[in-house]
Structure 1
Amino acid sequence: MSHPCLDRRQLLLGTLALLGGCASPPPPSRGWAEAAARELQLSVSHFALQGRRVTLTRRSAAAGLLPVIVYLPGIGQDADAGQRWAAAWALAGHAVLTVQPLEDDANAWRSPLARTGEFSALGELHYGQAMRSARLAALRRLVPALQAHAGAALDWQRGAIAGYEIGAQTALDLGAEAAGWQPQAAIAISPPPMDAAAATPPA
């Protein structure tokens, strides 16, 4: 029979190891870009815009204007997230722009709150109204810049906004706006509990 103190120590060490894994940076995306090009005939490229990293995924041989999907990752994720969804959408004929609007969201699991185990406070911060508003404001600034940077090759009139978790919340928030870019659809993957937007495109 094991000693209770030893069991508690093993549990603590296991928990710390898991938290350490959450805090470690994501693996580089170079392998995915190479595999996507070789196995799926996709082009995966990156560029910087307004201090944010953007990933563009599209079919290598695609020609003409491609309908665009702007994909917003979840908490603790960056522009390399959502690769399977981006690949599926790109294979269906879309160009997918992946961007995390806020640096604080991308670095959530490496933040002081996460490192000290203050996950309730971290959740209150990132799911709170102030961060929700800041995320939407950042996206409002990013969309015109994305249109100017890659607009000539993309069809924004047939565009959609998509997101996972907090990104889904922001996708629904943007889709409800009456000004600026009007996406034709909103794709909300596992959104957090939230007040329904006043009006959204088909979701």
Structure 2
Amino acid sequence: MEEAFHVEDQRDQTVCYHIAVTDAISIMYRRKSPKSQKLLLSPQVFIDSKCKNNVFKYLREPYGLQSRETYAFTMINPHIDAPVVLRYNSDYPRYHANDMYEIKDRSSFKSVLEANFGDIRKRNPMIGCMKMGPYKEAKTFDPYTHNMASDSIRKSLKAEPPHAMVIVGIETDDGKSNCYVKNSYGEGWGARGFGQVNINDLISIEMIEIE
């Protein structure tokens, strides 16, 4: 998916879901219009709104996303007691989503991903959440599965919060069950920010529809 050119580095911030959703929508708008080929939307509205993972409200009217040139992505969280202040620039457009669907039935993940990425008319980026464990230190594009991890690591995963990434493709031929992901750990992770995870290690997947 050549439109997935930008790799973010969230550093020590817990903004992976905000970044993943914004990246997926940026990719879809880049594909939709030649005028949007360099569009890079800002996740900062999710941070400023203190919405945590309940982002859909801020993807609809009267809200929306703006480009990073218009609405700077600082990753700075407002103080917990501070009022919500959204720094939109009314002179520039906002980008919206019509709907979001979360799927948690793991038995359906593979068929849903194949239906999307196997159809040349779709192939829309999706959000995938998983517990990273040792995969957080990946330095290769080789596929990873928690089934290869030790029993102690698999036990430790239970206490780990899920991490969100953008699913940009799949590899399910010849008995394989992998998806290609774009992460938010910077270009030092995986292969310049991209990697492969086993579909069975995903906790949830999410589909987004834009206008």
Same fold (TM over 0.5): no
Q: Which has the larger radius of gyration?
A: 1
Which structure dedicates a bigger proportion of its chain to helix?
Answer: 1
TM-score in terms of structure 2 length: 0.26
Higher relative CO (Cα under 8 Å, sequence separation at least 6) belongs to: 2
TM-score in terms of structure 1 length: 0.27
